[in-house]
Structure 1
């Protein structure tokens, strides 16, 4: 019986980063499945990027009632490599993970280490517009020019240490041994690292522990906005043709974050794509669409363990939402005529995984501790982060994983 020192579940950005740190003694399991997954329920942008290859998803759950789906990707390198491509540092007054880092200096130190490993542009202010009590701060965003991790490089370097398989469940055999069941194999390890994201981790835990009632996690909750531009009164700079980022502050406090997109035909269905292509220049000149985030608001997504898995979701802190906040964009030449309240976000901002077990709700680390798994099973991805800021959190997720892998590094080598 072969016993691996470490098994890492999840080959996204976080899983690959962890694997790079401790690859000598580790096996990485990507999540690639033999199942046929119905791609009709996949976001069109994801479908385009994955070329309809549904084996790149470990799990997909669809809620017919809510017309909503969630999925866990098995693509090596992770969807975060290209979704938005924005790589923000959270500032001291943002919601950086205080419960993990304790001090901002520790968080900043790990951000600096990530910058050295994965060089990327830094954000800077393009324009600062003051209107009454509001500041509209246009940012030149830190957009990645290429993927942080190369799938081909990882496969070439570590081919014998990567298993293209999907984890079903795991079980503690004794104080020093964990059994991991996949679609193809039974594996054994000393240490198991969960880095499949809140969805992947939740489903693995639900399949591993029958007494789990449900798992829940958070996502952001942006509004889609549509409008037209006032040519003469548009105060924005035109440094970036693809998108415009705006911090919106009220009395010097960040209350909203907004991304205004250039018209991109690939964001639309096949039916509209040709029309958008034909009128792209005209549409881009006079119309816009974007996303608008409200401070403090989030979605709570629940996966219930009833005979078959059931998905539900609710929006929390919705009272923070105020249409006047969106309409304040009028002040800088962006007239919003349609606000689309998304049922749920197509989230790449999933975080804060909690487990309802034996009638009690635990954070993922509390649950592992409760089941006396905390010396063998670890979680280093966004599942452990309680709260995120308004901006894309990818870099914060990486900094968190970087911090935690150093904390337990001696255990894995």
Structure 2
């Protein structure tokens, strides 16, 4: 392509949607969607990705392999699909409280954050997170309610897991879209910026916004700056607990969504425990089998789980200690993971006690391996002298501000609630502020 675009957006997930929504009108924009995925081994792909891909008829949308330095860990993949990871588990659309890390260092005030959340929410149909109607004996500070879920778009209320895909497709209609994946960035002789593509071609522009997801952005920056030693980012790797005795709660709710209830503890507008209670009887049989024995079969496509599956209730628990750090090498193709010390995790103990107060019994629990929590944030690039700096600090120096990141990589920390909406609000606010300069 010989056109020099005003803006190039790399990525086609939630933060790319937020970036596009904040760009001034009448700009020429090219979007590198990356929707040209490789073909991974099915055994390497997370069971939920495999199930949703099979049931929807979509390719799993994962690209470059990132192999663990230790054999006991799973392969990670950069996402390369329109809609991003929201196609699989980004349905919880939750605002942060005033006491949560909503981005006070970026937003003028909390209301500015809420305003950007509202703008993003207006593109979608959301459930309202209705509180549990019956009596409970929860410990002080805990509340039980239905989850606030992204279940459609303003134009298609029944889109379900396709909601983010439909929304970004709608936003991209008036722009130039390129299905190839970005491989690296470089500056042209005339001062513009080129995005090199997987087919050998280039797209040139005056401004580049990286919204390729944390792994995709990390790999792209590593491929573009030769002097980097590596990169690191944070993940929120929760506990998965397995309980029984909560079927009365599942029967009491009006809906039949797999994500049945949210259990959280709030203190001074700060969430310090967040848990999701799942109903295995309200999902596809493939997901039950995939989660239990890593088996997903095309012959079971469309088959719902029997009600018997509800006898066991998985509870996913995020606490202040259930974080991990992922370190990438200089090639972006090898990683190691380091779990935060959770040997004495009061949040976990208190959540198990809360589940017990609801009549449940937790039989066992285990920690999600680092990298498989999929709540990635805080991307830092490692310089040749060993120092780690935030990705946008590096990009501003390297490109004089012409290349910046707008995805969850720029969040220095996240709260315990799912951070998709907060990442989108942050992206939109940042792009607006940069466009005003």
Above 0.5 in TM-score? yes
- SS of corresponding position for 2:427: helix
User: 2:339 maps to what in 1?
Assistant: 315
In structure 2, the CA distance between the partners of 1:391 and 1:74, relative to structure 1 (3 Å rule), is same
User: 2:197 maps to what in 1?
Assistant: 182
Structure 1 stretches of 5 or more lacking a match?
none
- SS of corresponding position for 1:325: helix
Whether the 8 Å contact between 1:259 and 1:290 is mirrored in structure 2 is yes
TM-score by length of 1: 0.87
TM-score by length of 2: 0.82
- SS of corresponding position for 1:46: helix
User: 2:35 maps to what in 1?
Assistant: 32
User: 2:159 maps to what in 1?
Assistant: none
> CA offset at residue 350 of structure 1?
0.8
How far apart, in 1, do the equivalents of 2:144 and 2:217 lie? 37
- Is 1:324–2:341 an aligned residue pair? no
User: 2:325 maps to what in 1?
Assistant: 300
User: 1:5 maps to what in 2?
Assistant: 6
User: 1:60 maps to what in 2?
Assistant: 65
User: 1:280 maps to what in 2?
Assistant: 306
**Structure 2 counterparts to residues 8-407 of structure 1, below 5 A:** 8-22=9-23, 24-33=27-36, 35-51=38-54, 56-63=61-68, 65-126=71-132, 129-131=136-138, 134-146=140-152, 147-151=162-166, 154=169, 158=173, 161-173=176-188, 176-184=191-199, 185-229=201-245, 237-242=252-257, 243-248=260-265, 254-263=271-280, 264=283, 265-269=285-289, 280-284=306-310, 286-305=311-330, 309-319=333-343, 321-322=345-346, 324-328=349-353, 329-344=355-370, 346-359=372-385, 360-371=387-398, 373-407=399-433
Whether the 8 Å contact between 2:288 and 2:305 is mirrored in structure 1 is no
- SS of corresponding position for 2:131: strand
Whether the 8 Å contact between 1:134 and 1:250 is mirrored in structure 2 is no
How far apart, in 1, do the equivalents of 2:270 and 2:45 lie? 36
How far apart, in 2, do the equivalents of 1:301 and 1:3 lie? 36
Spell out, residue by residue over 1:230-250, the C-alpha distance to the aligned partner (whole angstroms, 9 max, x if none).
678x79953443311101358
> CA offset at residue 213 of structure 1?
1.1
Structure 2 stretches of 5 or more lacking a match?
153-161
User: Which segment is superposed worse, 251-260 or 239-248?
Assistant: 251-260
- SS of corresponding position for 1:349: coil
How far apart, in 2, do the equivalents of 1:317 and 1:165 lie? 40
How far apart, in 1, do the equivalents of 2:423 and 2:209 lie? 15
Spell out, residue by residue over 1:174-203, the C-alpha distance to the aligned partner (whole angstroms, 9 max, x if none).
684112211121222111110001100000
> CA-atom RMSD, angstroms?
3.1
